[in-house]
Amino acid sequence: MKSKVTDEMLDFAVVTCKKYSQVRTLAEEAETSWKQNLEMVAASKYTGEKEMYEQQAEEDLARYTAARDWLKLVDGAVGKVKDEKSRLVLKQNCLAGATMKSVLIDKKTGTYMSRSTATRYKKKGITELAVQLEKVKRPLEEKVEKMSRFGAE
């Protein structure tokens, strides 16, 4: 049974790919901030100061957890793309930010995919990814809301 892919689904997949590196950066920043606030809690002498750092650490942990969970959902959806080359292009171009000319096929031989071939596989991959993301759209939106509640985009 083949799913009908709508323009809305494709748009969501493209936006998700574009948002991936931002969320990864947010997760790294939130983790760093969380750890720093935990250190400040341990170093604090005053109760009010300790409470302030504890509150900030809780918010950073919530942001970090939501971002990490969002990344896992997207990675899982990409991992379910059936075509191996499409999945490879999605991982390298959409998620890791490599250009279409630098999609590596074989690391040992240093073989790269041509730009036109990579573009063809990316189109196919985005279509498959749109179907997979539709299945986890609600949890993804919930994670974005949770990240934005604590000061993220």
- Total domains in the chain come to 1
**Residue 63 forms part of a structural domain:** yes
Residue 55 domain flag:
yes
Residue-wise over 78-93: b if at least 16 C-beta within 10 A, else e?
A: beebeeebbbbbbbbb
Residue 132 lies in a domain: yes
CB atoms within 10 A of CB 67: 26
In a domain, 1, yes or no: no
In a domain, 11, yes or no: yes
CA angle (10 as vertex; 6, 13 as ends), nearest 5: 140
Contacts of 94 by beta carbon, 8 Å cutoff, 6+ apart = 17, 20, 78, 122, 125, 126
Separation in Å, CA 24 to CA 51, 52, 53, 57, 152? 28, 26, 24, 19, 12
Question: Is the entire prediction scored with pTM above 0.85?
Answer: yes
d(CA 72, CA 59): 20
Residue 69 belongs to domain spanning = 7-149
pLDDT tens string for the chain (153 positions)?
356 889 999 999 999 999 999 999 999 999 999 999 999 999 988 989 999 999 999 999 999 999 999 999 999 999 999 999 999 999 999 999 889 889 998 889 989 999 999 999 999 999 999 999 999 999 999 999 988 886 654
- Compute how many other C-beta atoms are within 10 angstroms of the C-beta atom of residue 139: 12
Alpha-carbon torsion (80, 86, 89, 94), positive or negative:
negative
Question: Does some domain include residue 2?
Answer: no
The DSSP output letter for 96 is T
- At 79-103, the pLDDT tens digits run 999 999 999 999 999 999 889 889 9
